Structure 1
């Protein structure tokens, strides 16, 4: 007898692992019947999960932390036993604004620090305080955008306007002149470029080489009460992630995601992120970025607690929460490597022996200890060269200029 699971998602390329698990039969082989609930906004998705309308959700990693800490609504303990992928987003700005930046788009994308300084100069030339769309206040998009802008002395709370809107509405908001640019997961940046509305000015993979993105989130109480279907779902998603990461499957995956029930955008646009061939300016040759989006390689699904704590550090940095040891512990505990290990204990999936690491310290591919199989981690550097030691959060935060 199959177990029915309702799972909420947003129309984004990085919903691929969930969608492929359903469409390619990986979930069915684990005795699961997935009912994937297409949702427009992150706020609606959050409420559907918190109030029990769905069993699980593809969720912004910072939103899972924020909900648990009571920053996004009344506190509701969430748990994330796996990541849905890393990277996959980009900053796009109106073509007129982008003309003030480095004209060589490949050089622009490969030098995020220099581009941030160009961006700071462009602000003074723009016709108004730039309005930049973000998909949620508590998103990796907003946190990385803040980090990137601040590196060039831009105050994201004073020098620009950050406007929250669902990712699927970003292109129309640009077309209507309501925003001057946005940061969102694919394929929406590519859609804005294809429409001639924008150019790519930065990509998430160059801000943080292995930046945490979406997670699979559960209510903590439901996760604890239902270990068997949780484990089966994680096993199905692990197989799906391997299928999604295989370049031989990218055309089929693009076609699958283009379905109106899922992302509802042209397969060619969706395929750009999967292949890592990013068209940064309409009509120009794509810029190769093979690590633009990862699903399975390098133990991508593994929920490093150090990444949850990096998210927490940014919430502290931007005065969204006060730092103390108890709050930090609660934030770190949202990511559940123990559940991931339990679910995949009998599989051949390689996974780290540790649950935390120093983030941003890997410059070249690095072989690490694994409980099963061989595991190599890819470069995870931050664009400004900083490293984050999860055991020294206060020292890390002291390295940044104070914010208001």
Structure 2
């Protein structure tokens, strides 16, 4: 992996002070003075869920990046749940749905294959960028505070079993969408400690904004979600943070920016304009001097609608886990641009498909190579990056980030996903070839 961008949040070689900087409040790329290719449309409807990793869309709207690139009629629309996002993407804007979205990285694949749509209708999607790396957390209920649960789930698993025996009721771990990123993190975490997420606990679906309220009434013992809901849980003294997900897999891929494939095909120039606006917003969000404003923007009613106190610290990279563990400017904080956060590595999409195969959401004989070639449009990202003036050294040389290592010693080699899958003791394969 090329780390050329990791020494500073924004590579100074790639940016210059643009004439419109005052309007958008950031350093603007060289491309800001270039002529805009003729746009097929200036309108797009984009969905988002109330999470801080949707900040690039909020900022692109609030700071005028969409308009700067000629997309003057972009609507950024709040979705009630990831299920709603899926349904509105299936509809498309022509049928009062949406054209694209801030989305869990596996979802464009699950929608494209019809694995999660009504009647298994296949709606081809394109991933245009990754919106961020890391930044999610796994939280546990206050009743387990004495355990100080962390990455190791062995003792937590024993406590869950004891509770199940004592009460005769199931214990629940909440995630946000079957086969989505939060589902993958909580399953991986549990399974690594010998807790079978299909037998030892119930995994339930809860929309992000409803996590805290459900934990308060005892609906779940643990959940995985993005901010501000983990910090809000601590601030309301209902639970604590066990870990940030980059402690499972350092700088893991998280949300994506995706559009319906038919929209991309019909509007190639407008697609590129949208993408450039989002990429500039990612650069702006990454800059430490902007993080407090990022938090303030996120907290606004039209976006997350949460107290700034529940948003600020973790957007800045400061983590009080609620157990006495405190980390300032944590290496596990969310990345919007640094460490090639925006580039949609195909190797990362392959890991998500492999994990969805592991848990039986997708068939074991799936042609992952062909599917990734259909969904992942890193080629458009590369063109947009060059037009923005991003330095060649900051554009990955390969579509693979290479071999990935996890906290439990497991290794994922994109050249041999079967070896990784075979190394996992807990799995539920279906339709094996």
Counterparts of 1:2-401 in structure 2, within 5 Å, are 3-33=42-72, 34-52=74-92, 53-73=97-117, 74-101=121-148, 108=150, 112=151, 115-126=152-163, 127=167, 128-281=169-322, 284=324, 286-288=326-328, 289-324=330-365, 326-331=367-372, 333-349=374-390, 350-360=394-404, 381-401=405-425
Structure 1 residue 328: Cα displacement: 4.3
Partner of 2:102, secondary structure, is: strand
Matched-pair contact (CA < 8 Å) for 1:134–1:141: yes
Distance 1:45 1:116, change over 3 A: same
Asked which structure has the greater CA Rg, the reply is 2
Structure 1 residue 131: Cα displacement: 1.0
- Structure 2, gaps ≥5 residues long: 1-38, 429-433
Q: Which range moves more in the overlay, 63-72 or 17-26? A: 63-72
- Counterparts of 2:53 and 2:373, CA distance in 1: 23
Structure 1 residue 333: Cα displacement: 3.8
Deviation string 1:107-132 (CA, Å, 9 cap, x unpaired) is x4xxx2xx222322222333554211
Structure 1 residue 204: Cα displacement: 0.7
Normalised TM-score (structure 1): 0.88
Count of residue pairs brought into register by the alignment: 373
- Counterparts of 2:310 and 2:427, CA distance in 1: 38
Matched-pair contact (CA < 8 Å) for 2:276–2:385: yes
Distance 1:331 1:119, change over 3 A: farther
Deviation string 1:18-52 (CA, Å, 9 cap, x unpaired) is 11011011111111122110111001111111211
Q: Which range moves more in the overlay, 115-124 or 189-198? A: 115-124
Partner of 1:86, secondary structure, is: coil
Cα RMSD after superposing both structures? 1.8
Distance 1:135 1:205, change over 3 A: same
Distance 1:403 1:387, change over 3 A: closer
Distance 1:87 1:233, change over 3 A: same
Partner of 1:87, secondary structure, is: coil
- Counterparts of 1:267 and 1:285, CA distance in 2: 22
Matched-pair contact (CA < 8 Å) for 2:112–2:123: yes
- Structure 1, gaps ≥5 residues long: 103-107, 361-380
Matched-pair contact (CA < 8 Å) for 1:12–1:185: yes
Aligned residue in 1 for 2:29: none
Partner of 2:101, secondary structure, is: strand
Structure 1 residue 299: Cα displacement: 1.5
Structure 1 residue 239: Cα displacement: 1.1
Normalised TM-score (structure 2): 0.82
Matched-pair contact (CA < 8 Å) for 1:98–1:201: no
